[in-house]
């Protein structure tokens, strides 16, 4: 499997990096059958694989032999091939239909300066066929990375020792580190406390997400009145979805948002908030503005209603109370000295945790929601991950230039209100409702999740 930077045309002169050229001779040409996929695929069977193969061509799978020695590549066998332009391919793409007819008789010949180095009938040489290989590759999102380059430990970090440079993983002992990145993110009140109906917006350290979602869906489907605490994007999106679902099944459900701010989505321009209010009103969602939920009590033994107490001594009652009042840091294992007053990890512009005054910088970074950068959004987490990676590489290679992270002032937000439209802010402008529907409202970016996970 080749990353884009490895690819080039077979007929092209490809420059060899100084790094590699300094270790010549000792590199190997290897003619290979290449298949090109037409789109991303996950967990497909060999039978399904052919639908994803756009065509076939040939390639030269170059290796810089020196770096295949474990001691030269840190034990990463594939490092020798992980070099720019080391996968020249092409220049003709043969359609799968023609390839299927011709495989039995097609041979692959590799010549170096006219001398034949390899001459093989493709079908005879294949241990696994392209369909089987693609199916196998699609099983594991991390397969694109060499297994030597990382280790996946499934467990919960329960403590961190800066002096010992270790983390303790629940039930699995100590793991030592040269560098540590804290990326433990955040959760929400409705995922972890008894002050809200359990809705797993983000159930950290939980493997039973499916059953928790199902339980939440069942509770919602049997309710006739729902109060949502909070006037941010989660509250507005949730209210829109619930109201639309109720309308679809023609069930009267009263939905109320309690917003501490005067307008919902206060981070947006006024026109964005007004658009949200209008869309919510069209779906019969009531908004109680400038009111705070100060206490809630759940139904006793599952019977009766939730009681929701507001800051004007008013009491609301509902079948469900769902808290959507912001993010809670997953910081149980992080030493107190690294946290700000709200529990977020304090980082500098390099996203590094600074040690005590006058001491050397710590080899500890943080990225994503857990940092004290206030814009807790997934694309911001990805930007931060890139900065942290660059700075760790700079540290290791002794470079003095460092990358900085600045979250900026620019709000980039799409807030669907049901599947038909929404509001938001894009480069200072309020997007058209239909644009929000097309960009986010149809699947809430779920289709992008797999590629985000595999980076
Ligand atoms: C309902 C909802 C809707 C959202 N919609 C959007 C949106 O439309 N657009 C957008 O950009 N952002 C959105 N966000 C925000 C986005 O989800 C976050 O910004 C993003 O998930 C942050 O990523 P992260 O990796 O920093 O943290 P997280 O996604 O929180 O991941 C942290 C991971 O660390 C694990 N963890 C925690 N503690 C430990 C521990 N002690 N040991 C080991 N592992 C641990 C957790 O289980 C989790 O897997 C939304 C958030 C919510 C709740």
Q: How far is CA 16 from CA 65, 76, 152, 258, 324, in A?
A: 14, 20, 33, 62, 54
* CA-closest residue to ligand 1 atom 44: 156
- Displacement of CA 157 from its chain's centroid (Å): 20
As a whole number of angstroms, the distance between CA 369 and CA 185 comes to: 5
Q: Which atom of ligand 1 is nearest to the CA of 206?
A: 47
Q: Is 294 exposed, middle or buried (0-12, 13-18, 19+ CB in 10 A)?
A: exposed
DSSP code of 405? -
| Shared-domain flag, residues 173 and 240 | no
As a whole number of angstroms, the distance between CA 65 and CA 77 comes to: 10
Evaluate whether residue 404 is within a structural domain.
Answer: no
Averaged confidence pLDDT in the chain: 88
- Ligand 1, CB cutoff 6 Å, lining residues: 156-157, 183-186, 188, 201-202, 204-205, 234, 330, 333, 368-369, 376-379, 381
pLDDT digits (tens, 9 = 90+) for 380-416: 999 999 999 999 999 999 988 999 999 988 888 999 9
Evaluate whether residue 336 is within a structural domain.
Answer: yes
What is the pLDDT, as a whole number, of residue 449? 75
Contact 53, 132 (CB under 8 A): no
Distance 369 CA to ligand 1 centre (A): 7
For residue 75, pLDDT over 60 is answered with no
Distance 185 CA to ligand 1 centre (A): 5
The lowest-confidence range among 151-160, 227-236, 288-297 is 151-160
| 3 state SS of 211 | helix
- Displacement of CA 377 from its chain's centroid (Å): 11
What is the pLDDT, as a whole number, of residue 39? 85
| Shared-domain flag, residues 101 and 67 | yes
Evaluate whether residue 389 is within a structural domain.
Answer: yes
| Shared-domain flag, residues 59 and 117 | yes
* CA-closest residue to ligand 1 atom 50: 377
| Shared-domain flag, residues 114 and 175 | no
| Shared-domain flag, residues 355 and 421 | no
Omega into 72 within 30° of 0, i.e. cis?
no
265: left (phi over 0), alpha (psi -120 to 50) or beta: left
Evaluate whether residue 90 is within a structural domain.
Answer: yes
Domain that holds residue 112: 4-144
What is the pLDDT, as a whole number, of residue 438? 92
Evaluate whether residue 216 is within a structural domain.
Answer: no
Evaluate whether residue 341 is within a structural domain.
Answer: yes
Distance 184 CA to ligand 1 centre (A): 8
| Shared-domain flag, residues 344 and 229 | no
| Shared-domain flag, residues 51 and 167 | no
Side-chain half-sphere CA neighbours of 291 within 13 A: 20
DSSP code of 67? G
Identify the domain boundary among 359, 375, 397: 397
| Shared-domain flag, residues 381 and 423 | no
Q: Residue 53 pairs with which residues in a beta bridge? A: 37
Evaluate whether residue 286 is within a structural domain.
Answer: yes
Where residue 97 sits, what CATH number does that domain have? 3.90.850.10
Two structure tokens written together for 251:
């069930």
Q: Which of 361, 360, 358, 327 is nearest to 344 (CA)?
A: 327
Distance 233 CA to ligand 1 centre (A): 15
- What domain count does the chain have? 3
Where residue 373 sits, what CATH number does that domain have? 3.50.50.60
Evaluate whether residue 37 is within a structural domain.
Answer: yes
Distance 138 CA to ligand 1 centre (A): 25
| Shared-domain flag, residues 306 and 357 | no
Q: Which atom of ligand 1 is nearest to the CA of 187?
A: 30
* CA-closest residue to ligand 1 atom 17: 378
* CA-closest residue to ligand 1 atom 31: 185
- ipTM more than 0.90? yes
| Shared-domain flag, residues 21 and 120 | yes
Identify the domain boundary among 119, 144, 169: 144
Handedness of CA 427, 428, 430, 432 (dihedral sign): negative
| Shared-domain flag, residues 29 and 134 | yes
pLDDT digits (tens, 9 = 90+) for 5-30: 667 777 777 777 776 777 666 666 78
Two structure tokens written together for 129:
């066929």
Identify the domain boundary among 122, 144, 166: 144
Distance 328 CA to ligand 1 centre (A): 10
């Amino acid at each position: 499997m080749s990353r884009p930077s490895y690819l080039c045309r077979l007929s092209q002169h490809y420059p060899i990096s100084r790094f590699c050229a300094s270790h010549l001779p000792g590199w190997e040409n290897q003619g290979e059958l290449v298949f090109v996929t037409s789109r991303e695929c996950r967990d497909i069977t060999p039978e399904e694989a052919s639908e994803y193969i756009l065509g076939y061509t040939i390639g030269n799978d170059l290796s810089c032999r020196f770096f295949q020695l474990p001691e030269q590549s840190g034990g990463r066998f594939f490092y020798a091939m992980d070099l720019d332009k080391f996968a020249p391919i092409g220049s003709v793409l043969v359609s799968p239909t023609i390839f299927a007819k011709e495989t039995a008789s097609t041979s692959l010949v590799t010549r170096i300066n006219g001398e034949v180095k390899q001459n093989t009938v493709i079908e005879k040489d294949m241990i696994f066929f392209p369909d089987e290989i693609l199916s196998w590759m699609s099983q594991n999102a991390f397969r694109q990375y060499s297994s030597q380059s990382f280790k996946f430990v499934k467990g919960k970090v329960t403590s961190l020792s800066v002096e010992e440079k270790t983390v303790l993983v629940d039930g699995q002992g100590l793991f030592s580190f040269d560098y540590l990145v804290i990326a433990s993110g955040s959760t929400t009140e409705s995922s972890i406390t008894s002050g809200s109906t359990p809705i797993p917006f983000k159930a950290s350290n939980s493997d039973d997400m499916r059953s928790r979602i199902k339980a939440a869906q069942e509770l919602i489907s049997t309710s006739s009145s729902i109060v949502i605490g909070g006037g941010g994007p989660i509250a507005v999106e949730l209210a829109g979805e619930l109201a639309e679902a109720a309308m679809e099944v023609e069930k009267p459900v009263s939905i109320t948002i309690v917003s501490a701010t005067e307008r919902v989505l206060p981070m947006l321009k006024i026109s964005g908030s007004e658009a949200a209010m209008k869309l919510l009103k069209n779906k019969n969602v009531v908004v109680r503005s400038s009111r705070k939920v100060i206490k809630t009590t759940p139904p006793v033994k599952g019977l009766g209603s939730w009681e929701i107490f507001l800051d004007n001594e008013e009491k609301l009652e509902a079948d469900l109370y769902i808290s959507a009042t912001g993010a809670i840091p997953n910081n149980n294992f992080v030493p107190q000295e690294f946290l700000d007053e709200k529990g977020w990890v304090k980082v500098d512009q390099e996203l590094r945790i600074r040690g005590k005054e006058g001491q050397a910088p710590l080899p500890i970074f943080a990225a994503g929601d857990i940092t004290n950068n206030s814009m807790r959004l997934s694309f911001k987490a990805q930007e931060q991950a890139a900065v942290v990676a660059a700075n760790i590489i700079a540290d290791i290679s002794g470079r003095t230039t460092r990358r900085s992270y600045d979250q900026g002032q620019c709000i980039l937000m799409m807030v669907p209100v049901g599947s038909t439209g929404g509001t938001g802010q894009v480069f200072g402008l309020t997007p058209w409702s239909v644009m929000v529907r097309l960009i986010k409202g149809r699947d809430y970016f779920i289709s992008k999740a797999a590629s985000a996970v595999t980076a």
